[in-house]
Chain A
Amino acid sequence: MTELTVELRNVSKIYPARRSSGKDVVAVREVSLDIPSGEFFTLLGPSGCGKTTTLRLIAGFEQPTSGEVYLQGKAVSKIPTYKRPVNTVFQNYALFPHMTVAKNVGFGLTVKRVPKAERERRVMEALELVQLPDLANRKPSQLSGGQQQRVALARALVNRPTVLLLDEPLGALDLKLRKAMQLELKQLQERLGITFVYVTHDQEEALTMSDRIAVMNYGEALQVGDPMTLYEKPANSFVADFIGESNFVRGTVKQVDDDEAQIAIGRKVIAVRLEEERPSPNQNVLLTIRPEKLWLSEPDEQADGLPGVVEEVVYIGTSTRYIVALEAGDEIVVRLQNRPGTKMAGLGRGAPVKVSWRFEDARIIEADGRGEELVIG
């Protein structure tokens, strides 16, 4: 059993309404997280979902309205920011404009009265770690965005924190630099073994870098899991849609057996594998299938698969996207690799097709109890 460095227990943060007529903002809602030591943990979610607020609760800039934050097993609500073994890389870097790079990086050590010789050595070490030893005497305004980002990283790491919080640290960089920094950050984290709590709204970044991800929406942690689990087994339609691309198809349960259910989709009845979710007959359910798990063939009344009409064909280099209007009503995206042999020549707009998938690739992710219409997305 590994040691937990960061723990959140039913943490909520409510910002009171600005005016008496306004509504309170629930920025974080009953979030519980267990982050073991040395993990690269990511908070992923759309803008305004409460990622920054969660980080600020861990750093101590905000106090939870209810619930408790634990660092290394200790409740920290009474411990002020400057005493927590946590450092932050801010989204806008927040470098001190009146200090040189070296002074910026050494700030934490100066404040803690670390002797000058040791301080200077550790500052140089930290700058070497982020590959910027030559810029020690520059002012932050004389650095590029990528260099500022590295200085911010060095300034945090020089304190040897138990936990490093990073709030969209790559958000301001261009795509190429971003990709390079993703790799570098990940390697750095593995080498130093520090727990990273990383915030991003970029699902690809989250999947590439993280050991585990918490997907957030409207202040809630909807699902926590490793990248593969989130991609293969999203807990709900939000996660399925946010991580990668997903198709959603509505159906009605006809029959439930041990490990599969018969789902009516339009005129077709299709067998779907059952996991945790166990719907009952006549329930409306939402099926999710990834675009790359689908294939197209000639319409054929007998076999499994859903009939539809090609609405749009988009060629995107390595693959082609077909948007198919299903006869049953929903739209579905099919992505086919452009390999010799799989080319669907002549499948243009308006062509009737059949969309099929392997039994195990469709999942029921949402079932509603009352037989109401499910809303997609």
Chain B
Amino acid sequence: MRRKSGFSFGLFYFLVVAFILFLPILLLVVFSFNDSTKLVFPLKGFTTQHYADLVGNREMVEAVRTSVLLGLGSSFLATALGTMGAIALSRFKFPGKGFFTAVSALPLVIPYVILGVSLLIMFNQVGIKLSAWTAGLAHVVISIPYALLIISSRLAGFPDNLEEAAMDLGATYWGALLRVTIPISFPALVAAFLICFTISFDEFAISSFLVGTQPTLPVYLYSQLRFPTRLPLVVSLSSILMVATMIIMLLAEWLRRLGDTTR
């Protein structure tokens, strides 16, 4: 009886997700190989021309470069800071800990548009020129909560007296972190890095305010939507983005689970 209703809940969930997520993605991919500049059925014929056009587009290649560098840099910083925060939260007691936790989760609930606008105002006030750097800083801020959550759950998953055991055997506190805590959390660190990367790589709202004259890929993509003839380019680019993101996410999830089974 309960098994059955569980099954129908699952089926319902799956159908909804499939309909509003997978179906449009599938359409996008299908159209990206369609030999036409219009996104309508019936399909005309198979072509890889749109993808070939992408590679020849210098602006686009530049945008990819910006996005990748910005993603790598911001996720590296976010992972490092998230690790420190996670260690502080899971291994130490200190006054204001609850407040600290709440503050570090704040970027999860503040609308990105508002964050973007407020950072824009701040950078202008302080007189910092907008560039990929300013966008990158914002990406660090929005990715940290994810890094913090992923790493914290890993740290909570093994007893904190492993660090004590290391110190008992002669390691200093830093030695214990480097030889025990970090290696055990390593899969989670990589998972956090990958997740932060996809967040930065796919982020549009904040970047659109802060990149200045160095568009990231999503910002570039949006700017191209104004030109109907570029539609196939947008579609094929989106397909690539989507597939890349999915692969990274799957990899991250696989790593996260790998970490959990290494008890």
What is the interface of chain A, defined by CB distance below 8 A to chain B? 59, 61, 80-82, 86-88, 90, 92, 94-98, 107-108, 111-112, 141, 155-156, 159
How near does chain A come to B109, taking the closest CB pair, in angstroms?
27
Q: Which of B38-46, B122-130, B163-171, B219-227 contacts A (4 or more CB under 8 A)?
A: B163-171
Do A61 and B171 have beta carbons less than 8 Å apart? no
Interface residue from A90, A92, A111 paired with B171 (Cβ < 8 Å) = A111
**Quick one: given A90-B165, A94-B159, A97-B184, are A141 and B170 in contact (CB under 8 Å)?**
no
Is B8 part of the contact surface with A, judged by Cβ < 8 Å? no
Do B170 and A59 have beta carbons less than 8 Å apart? no
Which residue, A82, A92, A95, A159, has most C-beta atoms of chain B within 10 A? A82
A to B contact number (C-beta, < 8 Å) = 67
Do B169 and A111 have beta carbons less than 8 Å apart? yes
What is the interface of chain B, defined by CB distance below 8 A to chain A? 158-159, 161-162, 164-172, 175, 179-180, 183-184, 262-263
Do A111 and B170 have beta carbons less than 8 Å apart? yes
Do B165 and A94 have beta carbons less than 8 Å apart? yes
Q: Could you list 14 A-B pairs, sorted by A, with CB under 8 Å?
A: A59-B168, A80-B172, A82-B175, A87-B168, A87-B169, A94-B162, A94-B164, A97-B263, A98-B180, A108-B170, A111-B171, A112-B170, A141-B263, A159-B170
**Quick one: given A97-B263, A98-B184, are A92 and B161 in contact (CB under 8 Å)?**
yes
Taking CB atoms, residues of chain A closer than 8 Å to B263 are: 97, 141
Taking CB atoms, residues of chain B closer than 8 Å to A88 are: 164-165, 168
The 7 closest A-B pairs by CB, nearest first: A108-B169, A94-B165, A111-B170, A81-B167, A88-B168, A111-B171, A94-B161
Do A61 and B164 have beta carbons less than 8 Å apart? yes
How near does chain A come to B125, taking the closest CB pair, in angstroms?
41
**Quick one: given A94-B159, A97-B184, A97-B263, are A82 and B164 in contact (CB under 8 Å)?**
no
A96–B176 alpha-carbon span in the complex (Å): 11
Do B165 and A96 have beta carbons less than 8 Å apart? yes
Do B161 and A159 have beta carbons less than 8 Å apart? no
A61–B176 alpha-carbon span in the complex (Å): 14
Interface residue from A80, A107, A141 paired with B166 (Cβ < 8 Å) = A107
A97–B211 alpha-carbon span in the complex (Å): 44
Taking CB atoms, residues of chain B closer than 8 Å to A59 are: 168
A87–B162 alpha-carbon span in the complex (Å): 13
Taking CB atoms, residues of chain A closer than 8 Å to B169 are: 82, 87, 107-108, 111, 155-156, 159
Do B262 and A98 have beta carbons less than 8 Å apart? yes
Taking CB atoms, residues of chain B closer than 8 Å to A87 are: 168-169
How near does chain A come to B197, taking the closest CB pair, in angstroms?
25
A141–B184 alpha-carbon span in the complex (Å): 14
Residue of B nearest to A158 (CB): B169
How near does chain B come to A286, taking the closest CB pair, in angstroms?
41
Given A86-B168, A97-B263, A156-B168, 18 additional A-B pairs, CB 8 A: A61-B164, A61-B167, A80-B172, A82-B167, A82-B168, A82-B172, A82-B175, A87-B169, A88-B165, A90-B165, A92-B161, A97-B158, A97-B184, A107-B166, A107-B179, A108-B170, A111-B179, A141-B262
A98–B167 alpha-carbon span in the complex (Å): 17
How near does chain B come to A183, taking the closest CB pair, in angstroms?
26
How near does chain A come to B163, taking the closest CB pair, in angstroms?
9
Do B168 and A111 have beta carbons less than 8 Å apart? no
Residue of A nearest to B172 (CB): A82
A45–B159 alpha-carbon span in the complex (Å): 25
A155–B166 alpha-carbon span in the complex (Å): 11
**Quick one: given A111-B179, A141-B263, are A96 and B162 in contact (CB under 8 Å)?**
yes
Which residue, A80, A92, A94, A141, has most C-beta atoms of chain B within 10 A? A94
Taking CB atoms, residues of chain B closer than 8 Å to A80 are: 167, 172
How near does chain B come to A336, taking the closest CB pair, in angstroms?
47
Which residue, B164, B169, B184, B262, has most C-beta atoms of chain A within 10 A? B169
